[in-house]
């Protein structure tokens, strides 16, 4: 068995190179990785060597949206067998701290998280992971769909945080993968009106084809103008805004557009911290809710895909092999390619 990985050595230095096959311990499994999606944070590490407060101090295997096949079982693993295909939940918390014990394990301060420095990711051929955070995929769920459960989990969590339910009128700022997946989950939850905004017409067209009731192309630099447009066209204020663009513009649009007493869910992260009209949020009593990754969402994400309720395949725009990882990253980062979700296949041909 030989292993190769997409190793990021620093900004703009991604190399596909041999690495050791990991040794597994109790309650771990060795996986032959199948599909790994590229996320916006992977692109940040690739372009700048950092993302948010996390800076790479040493080379790091990239990738955290993965699926794989169990090839070896550590002692104590009961719920999996060799040959099972699984989706990998990339965050493995300590399980012992108060946050873990109350189920809010995404906030665990000693969580291992794939491709967040100093932790290695899973864009490689062989990867070890805690069996507890591997979810067996039914035969009819593909490897690509297994990888897509990761961003789908973010969407499931975001809708939970926004209490998106029957009759909710929702505004989503940003039609990237998480924005579009949030649309799909919201519709399943019974949201009756979903409006979505973006600067990119191709992404808006995809959102419309997947069920968005309204798509707004951002053509102004004044968020209150867009908010007024939305209100004019939709006829109602949204009860909830889920901000997935990671821009000040998206945050501000949410504060202006959301109905008084409504809520704004923060999913996108604005580098350096968001600036938005906080006093308006005060006077409108808008509840601002944070989303940091997700907790307890993989089982729901898997059910949504397994029952055919959410079509995650519709987001996959490009596929590459692991040897072509650099090309995959270039494709994902480029505006011209119209990439939505780029998936890398780790299996040798
Ligand atoms: O799918 C998990 C995920 N989480 C993201 C971004 C992309 N993908 N978050 C935003 C960035 N933060 S962070 O703490 N960080 C870079 C680790 O700033 C994590 C959550
Ligand atoms: Zn991600």
Q: Which residue's alpha carbon is at the smallest distance from atom 14 of ligand 1?
A: 52
Summarize pLDDT for 167-204 with one digit per residue, the tens.
999 999 999 999 999 999 999 999 999 999 999 999 99
Q: Whose CA is nearest to atom 10 of ligand 1?
A: 269
Mean pLDDT of all residues in 129-136 = 99
Q: How confident is the model at residue 349 (pLDDT cuts 50, 70, 90)?
A: confident
Mean pLDDT in the chain? 98
- Cα–Cα dist 269/6, whole Å: 25
3-state secondary structure of 95: coil
The answer to whether the CB of 71 falls within 8 A of the CB of 30 is yes
Atom of ligand 1 nearest to the CA of 54: 16
Question: Which domains occur in the chain, in start order?
Answer: 4-136+311-345 (3.90.180.10), 155-290 (3.40.50.720)
Average pLDDT over residues 308-314: 98
State the average pLDDT over residues 325-330.
98
Ligand 1: does its nearest atom lie under 6 Å from the Cβ of 51?
A: yes
E-strand ranges in 159-305 read: 169-173, 193-198, 214-217, 240-243, 263-266, 287-290
Question: pLDDT (tens digit, 9 = 90+) per residue, 59-108?
Answer: 999 999 999 999 999 999 999 999 999 999 999 999 999 999 999 999 99
- Per-residue pLDDT tens digits for 234-247: 999 999 999 999 99
* The pLDDT of residue 221: 97
pLDDT band at 145 (very low <50, low <70, confident <90, very high): very high
Residue 277 has pLDDT above 90, yes or no: yes
pLDDT of residue 73: 98
Edge to edge, what strands does the sheet with 263-266 contain? Answer: 214-217, 193-198, 169-173, 240-243, 263-266, 287-290
Which atom of ligand 1 has the smallest separation from the CA of 41?
7
| Top mutation candidate among 51, 60, 290 for ligand 1, by most atoms within 8 Å of CB | 51
């Amino acid at each position: 068995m030989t292993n190769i990985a997409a190793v990021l050595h620093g900004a703009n230095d991604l190399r596909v190179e041999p690495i050791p096959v990991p040794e597994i311990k109790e309650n771990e499994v060795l996986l032959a990785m199948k599909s790994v999606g590229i996320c916006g944070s992977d692109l940040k590490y690739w372009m700048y060597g950092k993302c948010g407060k996390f800076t790479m101090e040493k080379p790091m295997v990239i990738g955290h949206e993965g699926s794989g096949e169990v090839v070896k079982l550590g002692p104590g693993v009961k719920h999996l067998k060799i040959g099972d295909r699984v989706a990998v939940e990339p965050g493995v918390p300590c399980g012992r701290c108060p946050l873990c014990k109350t189920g809010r394990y995404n906030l665990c301060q000693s969580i291992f998280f794939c491709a967040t420095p100093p932790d290695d990711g899973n864009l490689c051929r062989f990867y070890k992971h805690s069996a507890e955070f591997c979810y067996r995929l039914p035969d009819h769920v593909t490897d690509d769909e297994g990888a897509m459960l990761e961003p789908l989990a973010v969407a499931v969590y975001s809708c939970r945080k926004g209490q998106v339910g029957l009759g909710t009128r929702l505004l989503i700022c940003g039609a990237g993968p998480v924005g579009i997946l949030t649309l799909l989950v919201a519709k399943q939850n019974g949201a009756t009106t979903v409006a979505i905004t973006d600067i990119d017409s191709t992404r808006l067209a995809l959102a419309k084809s997947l069920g968005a009731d309204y798509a707004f192309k951002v053509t102004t630099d004044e968020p209150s103008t867009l908010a007024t447009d939305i209100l004019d066209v939709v006829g109602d204020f949204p009860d909830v805004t889920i901000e997935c663009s990671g821009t000040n513009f998206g945050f501000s649009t949410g504060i202006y557009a959301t109905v008084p007493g409504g809520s704004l869910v923060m999913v996108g992260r604005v580098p350096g911290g968001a600036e938005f009209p906080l006093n308006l949020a005060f006077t409108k009593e808008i509840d601002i809710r944070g989303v940091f990754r997700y907790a307890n969402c993989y089982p729901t994400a898997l059910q949504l895909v397994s029952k055919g309720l959410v079509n995650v395949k519709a987001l996959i725009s490009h596929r590459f092999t692991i040897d072509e990882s650099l090309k995959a990253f270039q494709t994902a980062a480029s505006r011209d390619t119209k990439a939505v979700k780029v998936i890398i296949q780790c299996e040798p041909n």
